Structure 1
Amino acid sequence: MKQMMIAALMAAFGSPALADPSVDPNTVHACFDGAKDTHPACIGDAANACQAQPGGATTLGISACLQGEAQVWDDILNAQYKGARAQLLEQGGTPLADQLLDAQRTWIAFRDADCGLVYSIWADGSIRTVIASSCYLNKTAQRALELHNLGNME
C-alpha cells in the first residue's frame, strides 16, 4: 500500500531523484531519539534542511525532501514494530502479537486512505503532492513514536 501511495505521488510529477536534494537521516534519528511525545516539533526538520539545498525549493524538490524524510521514519517505524511485536510475544504470547499485527495493518490502511483523501482534495493543484507527502511523513513519524512507546511499556 505504501508503495502505491508513493508511486501515485511520484507519477504526478515524475520520479525526482532523492539523492539531490537529499535528507540527512541523522537529523531524523536525532528527532526520534530526543522525542518526548508523539508530536515533536522536529518532525520535518530533515525535509526542511533538504529543501534549502539546490533544487529543494521546487514543488518536485519539496516533495522529494518530504518523501525522503518519510522513508527514514518508515524504516524507524518498521524497527519499532518488530521490537514491540517481539516484546508482546514475550509478555502475552501470540494473541497480543497478532493483535498488534491487526492494528498495524489497519493503521497502514488508515494512513494511506487519509493521505490519499488529502491528495484527492487538492487534485487540481500541484500542491497536492506536497500536502499528501507531508501527511504521509507526519503520520508515519507519529506512528513510529507510538510504537516506540508501546515497546517501552513495562
Structure 2
Amino acid sequence: MKYLMIAALLAVEGNPALADPTVDPAMVRACFDGAKGTHPDCIGDAANACQSQPDGDTTLGISSCLQGEAQVWDDILNAQYKGVRADLLEQGGTPLADQLLDAQRAWIAFRDADCGLVYSVWADGSIRTVVASSCYLDKTAQRALELRDLGSME
C-alpha cells in the first residue's frame, strides 16, 4: 500500500504541468479533536477541500489529497499509539503493552490487505488509486480514533 501511495505522489511530483494540491493538517486535527466516535462525518473533509485547489480534481490530484489527509491521520495514529502504549506499560507492564503491539501489527496487516484488495478489484480502472487511497484514509482515521478511545478507558 505504501508503494501505491508513493507511486501516485511521484506521478504528481514528476509532472511539472500538475500543481501539487495540499491538505490542511489543522482541518484534520480539528476533526480528530471534535470527533465523538470512530466514524465522524469529518473524515475526508480536508481531502475534499484539497480537491478544490488547482489540479486537485484530477485522478492524481484526488489521490494526492486523500493520501495527504491519510498521512496526517497516520501521524495522529502514531502519537495515539505511543501514548496508549506508555499508559499500558504503567498500568499493566510489558505484557499488556506487548498485546497492544501485537494488535497494532495485526491491524496494519489487515488495513494493508483490505485496501490492497480494493485496489485489485478496481485494477482495470484509473479509479483504483482513488478507492484504495480512500480506504487507507478511512481505516487509518478510524484506528486513530479507536486508539484515542482505548486510552481514555483507563
Contact residue 118 and residue 131 of structure 2 kept, 8 A: yes
Counterpart Cα distance in 2 of 1:72 and 1:140: 10
* Residue number in structure 1 paired with 2:143: 143
Q: How much has 1:41 moved relative to structure 2?
A: 0.2
1:1-154 paired onto structure 2 within 5 Å: 5-11=1-7, 14-17=10-13, 20-154=20-154
- Percent of residue pairs identical: 81
Task: Report if the CA contact (8 A) 2:70-2:136 is conserved.
Answer: yes
Aligned pairs, number: 149
Deviation at 1:6, TM superposition (A): 2.7
Partners of 1:15 and 1:68 lie apart in 2 by 14
Could you tell me which amino acid in structure 2 is paired with residue 87 of structure 1? D
Q: One-letter code of the match for 2:2?
A: I
Partners of 1:85 and 1:100 within 8 A in 2: yes
Q: Per-residue deviation at 1:15?
A: 2.9
Q: CA RMSD in A?
A: 1.4
Residue 152 of structure 1: CA displacement?
Answer: 1.1
What is the CA distance between 1:87 and its match in structure 2? 0.6
Following TM superposition, the consecutive aligned residue runs of length 4 or more in structure 1 with deviations greater than 6 angstroms are: none
- Is the contact made by 2:85 and 2:100 (CA closer than 8 Å) also made in structure 1? yes
Structure 1, residues 32-57: CA drift from partner, whole Å, max 9, x if none? 00000000000000000000001100
Q: Return the letter of the residue paired with 1:51.
A: Q
Distance change in 2, residues 1:12/1:82 (3 Å): closer
In the alignment, the residues of structure 1 paired with residue 103 and residue 111 of structure 2 have an alpha-carbon distance, to the nearest angstrom, of 12
The CA distance in 2 between the partners of 1:103 and 1:21, in whole Å, is 34
TM-score normalised by structure 1 residue count:
0.93
Q: Distance in 1 between matches of 2:49 and 2:108?
A: 27
Report the alpha carbon displacement of residue 7 of structure 1 after superposing the two structures with TM.
1.7
- What SS is found at the alignment partner of 2:53? coil
Determine if contact 2:9/2:64 at 8 Å carries over to the other structure.
no
